Amino acid sequence: MTGIAALLGAVGIGTAAEAQTLRVMKSLDAPHYDGQRTTWSPTSDIVNMFQDTLVALDWDGKTAIPYLAKSWTISEDGRTYTFKLRDDVTFCSGKKFTAADVIYSFKRLKDPETKAPYAWRAGDIKELRAPDPYTVEYELNEPYSELLLQLTMYTNAIHNKESVETLGKDYGIKGIDGTGPWCFESWQPRTEIVLKRHDAYKWGPSMYKNKGPVKFEKLSIKIVPEDASRVAAIMGGQFDLTHQVPLQFIQQVKAAPNLTVQEAKPNFQLMYYGYKITRPMVSDKRVREAMNIAINRADIVKGVMLGNAEPALTFVDPKALDFAEKTKGVIKEDVERAKKLLDEAGWKVGADGIREKDGVKLAPRVLFTQVTYFPRVSEAIQGYMRKIGVDWKIVGFDSTIAPAEMGKQDYELWTVTVPYLSAGELMNIYFNSKNVPTPNRMNWKDDETDEWLRAGRAALTDAERALNYARVQEKVMNEHLWMPVMNVAMYTTSSKKLKDVRPHMLYQNTFYKGLDYSF
C-alpha cells in the first residue's frame, strides 16, 4: 500500500486555490496530441477537449448535430456538402475561425506526409472550396453515406495552420491550438496534462445546456497506470472524475457513498478474436464455426467481467445503426455440434485428447495484449477449447509491442476490443480487402464484400445503405471470420459533489466537452 499512500499524498487534498480545477484521472497517456496522426484512444478524448469538429455527435451515438458548421446541405448526387460556418468562433490563440481553417485541416489530413491513419474517415475528397469566409463546399469523388457521422471524430477536428507551422515537430507536444472549450496549457508525459478554460468559448453544441464557457478555470488530467492506485484515489476523493476504474472494481466503487457511477449508453465496444484465414489451421470455415460455438459467453461475462459486459453472438451490436437482424442465430453455442464439425473437417481426437490431422495438432497460436481482461478471457476460452480437442497456444504481449507482433502474421488468432459508431464503420474498417494486412488481419479478400461496402458508402438513402451493409454482415458472419465474445460496458465514475455529469460514448471515452459539469 506504500505506492497508493504515496500517490494520495502527492495528489493532496484539494485546497481553496484548486477549487476551480476539475481533477480527472486516466490510466494511459498518449505519444502526442495531434489527432490527425494517431488512432490512439488516449489522444482522442484530450483532443476533443481543446479542438472542435464541424459537427458534434449527439447523445444517441447516431446523430450528427451542428457545431462549427451551423447548417449544411447535400447535393442530389450525394457528392457535395455545403457547410455554413459559425462566424463567432475563435481559437484559443485569439485567431478568428474561418473556412480557410477547415480547408487547411482536411488538406493536411489527406497529405501523405501527415501519415494520417484515419484519413479515410473524411471520405474521398475531390476538392474543397470556400466561396466566402464562412462557407465550405466539400466535394467528394464518390458519395459517402456516413460522412457526417465520421466528421464527429477527433481525427477530423479543425487545426490552426499558424500553430502547426510555428511548433513544427513539437505540435501536439509542447503546444497545440484549437477552438474547443478548453485550451492546451502544459503536458508532462506519463504524468499530467493541464488545460485551461477558453474564456471566449460560447458555441457549444445543442446537446449541452451550457453553451460556454466551461465552469472550471482549469482541467488537470493525471496519469495513474496502476489499477489499485486509481481505485484508491477515486474512492479517497483525490479526483473528481475518471472513466477508467477497472471493471472488476465497479461494484465496489458503486457502493462508495461519495461516488456516482454511470454507464455510457449507447456504447459499442466489441471484444472479439479474429481468425487469420490464410493460415491452414483455421482456413476451414467448419473449424472456425466449431470454435465460435464451443464457448459459453454468459459464463465468461459473469466470471471474468462480473457482469460488466453483454455476451456477443453477432459482430455488430443489435442497437447499432444498420445492424442486420438476419445475423441473429448464425452463432448458436453448442459443444456437441462443435465436435461434429471438427470431425467432418478431418480433425480427429488423438491419444492426448487433442485433435490431429495429417500429423499436425490442432493447436492454433493466439495473441493477446497483457492488459485488463484479455489474459483472463483468453485463459477461459483456452479451457473451453480443450473440451472439444483444440489446444489454444495463448501468447501475451505488452501493449507497447503487441501491434508489432500482430504485424508479423505468425499466428492463427488475435484479440482486441474495438470501438465503433455503426455497422458500416465496423464493416468498412475490418472487411475491406484494401485494409489487408491491417486492420483486416483476417486477410479476407472478397470482391462481393468490397462491392457491397462500396455500395453502402455510396448509398443515397438510408434503406440502400442498410441493405448493403446487412449483406456484408451476413456474409462475414456466415464465414465465421471472427469469434465475437462480448460487448464491453464503459462507465464514468464521479464525485457526488460534481453535478450534471453524463457519459458520452465516443471512441472509448466518456468525457466529451464537459460544458455542463460544475460543483
CATH number reported for the structural domain that contains residue 362 in this entry: 3.10.105.10
203 and 236 assigned to the same domain: yes
In eight-state DSSP terms, residue 460 is S
Does residue 35 sit within a domain?
no
**Cis peptide before 143, with omega less than 30 degrees from 0?**
no
278 and 370 assigned to the same domain: yes
362 and 504 assigned to the same domain: no
36-65 residue pLDDT tens: 998 878 889 899 999 999 999 999 888 999
Three-state DSSP state, 196: strand
The number of angstroms, rounded, from the C-alpha of 59 to the middle of its chain's C-alpha atoms is 16
Does residue 154 sit within a domain?
no
**Cis peptide before 266, with omega less than 30 degrees from 0?**
yes
- What is the distance between the alpha carbons of residues 384 and 333, in angstroms, rounded to a whole number? 12
What pLDDT sits at residue 19?
A: 56
pTM for this structure? 0.84
433 and 306 assigned to the same domain: yes
**Cell triple for residue 375?**
489474459
Q: Which residues contact 45 (CB under 8 A, 6 or more apart)?
A: 154, 507, 509, 511, 512
476 and 395 assigned to the same domain: yes
309 and 395 assigned to the same domain: yes
Total number of domains constituting the chain: 2
Does residue 37 sit within a domain?
no
**Domain range holding 256?**
1-27+181-264+491-519
What pLDDT sits at residue 398?
A: 76
Write the DSSP string, 435-458. GTTTT-TT----HHHHHHHHHHHH
**Cell triple for residue 44?**
482522442
- What is the distance between the alpha carbons of residues 278 and 409, in angstroms, rounded to a whole number? 10
379 and 325 assigned to the same domain: yes
- Cα of first residue to Cα of last residue in the chain, in angstroms, is 30
- What is the distance between the alpha carbons of residues 432 and 450, in angstroms, rounded to a whole number? 6
Query: Pairing mode, if any, of strands 413-419 and 365-369?
Result: parallel
Residues recorded for the chain: 519
Write the DSSP string, 179-234. SSSEEEEEEETTTEEEEEE-TT-----TTSS--SS-S-SEEEEEE---HHHHHHHH
**Cell triple for residue 416?**
482486441
311-321 residue pLDDT tens: 999 999 999 99
- Listed as ranges, residues in the chain with pLDDT below 70 are 1-19, 399-400
- What is the distance between the alpha carbons of residues 432 and 448, in angstroms, rounded to a whole number? 10
Instruction: Identify the H or E element spanning 389.
Output: none
188 and 304 assigned to the same domain: no
Query: Pairing mode, if any, of strands 80-85 and 135-140?
Result: antiparallel
Residue whose C-alpha cell reads 462508495 in the numeric block: 256
Does residue 316 sit within a domain?
yes
Query: Pairing mode, if any, of strands 21-26 and 241-242?
Result: parallel
Strand partners, 274: 414, 482
Q: For Cα atoms 331, 487, 296, give the angle at the middle one, nearest 5 degrees.
A: 45
Residue whose C-alpha cell reads 489454444 in the numeric block: 392
What pLDDT sits at residue 15?
A: 43
200 and 253 assigned to the same domain: yes
Q: Name the H helices within 279-365.
A: 285-293, 297-303, 335-344
Q: The CATH number of the domain where 210 resides is what?
A: 3.40.190.10
Q: Name the H helices within 52-202.
A: 99-110, 147-150, 161-167
Does residue 279 sit within a domain?
yes
Does residue 17 sit within a domain?
yes
In whole angstroms, how far apart are CA 123 and each of 144, 299, 436, 492?
A: 6, 41, 19, 32
- What is the distance between the alpha carbons of residues 2 and 285, in angstroms, rounded to a whole number? 52
Does residue 74 sit within a domain?
no
468 and 513 assigned to the same domain: no
Tally of CB atoms within 10 A around 147: 22
Whether 449 and 476 have beta carbons less than 8 Å apart is answered as yes
Does residue 141 sit within a domain?
no
462 and 345 assigned to the same domain: yes
**Cis peptide before 213, with omega less than 30 degrees from 0?**
yes
What pLDDT sits at residue 442?
A: 97
What pLDDT sits at residue 371?
A: 75
* Nearest CA-CA partner of 271 in 419, 485, 491, 480: 485
236 and 304 assigned to the same domain: no
Fill in the amino acid letter for 455. A
* Nearest CA-CA partner of 455 in 477, 472, 431: 472
